[in-house]
Amino acid sequence: MKATIWHNPRCSKSREALALLQDAGAEVRIVEYLKTPPTRETLAALYEKAEMRPRDGLRLAEPGAKPLKTASDDAILDAMVVDPILIERPLVETEKGARLGRPPEKIREIL
């Protein structure tokens, strides 16, 4: 099985999700999204595949998220592309779907 993880190696949940994928024997493509941010189109497609709204993938703990409290999904996507720290992690995609790995065990649904 192939999987892609949008990963932040400094994040414990992201590291746990990566370990879960590796333990499952997945061939993992790791994208450090802070160094190589997804395009707006990729991000929108991931959220659609995960059956979630961009708002659900907004990292609320970041100061830059506060002004987006009442923003549209389009505005949130635009902000995430400009400042990828606003993207909640880890996002994982396989041929079975996409999930936000919070908690990391949620990615078992697409393995």
Calculate the alpha carbon distances from 3 to 13, 67, 79, 99 in Å. 17, 33, 26, 11
**Rounded Cα gap, residues 69 and 76, in angstroms:** 9
Catalytic site positions: 11
**Rounded Cα gap, residues 51 and 110, in angstroms:** 13
Q: Where are the domains of the chain?
A: 2-110
pLDDT tens-digit readout, 44-95: 999 999 999 999 999 999 999 999 999 999 999 999 999 999 999 999 999 9
Q: With residue 76 as reference, give the H or E element that holds it.
A: helix 73-82
pLDDT value at residue 9: 96
In CATH terms, the fold of domain 2-110 is Glutaredoxin (3.40.30)
- pLDDT tier for residue 19 given thresholds of 50, 70 and 90: very high
Q: With residue 31 as reference, give the H or E element that holds it.
A: strand 27-32
pLDDT tens-digit readout, 93-111: 999 999 999 999 999 999 9
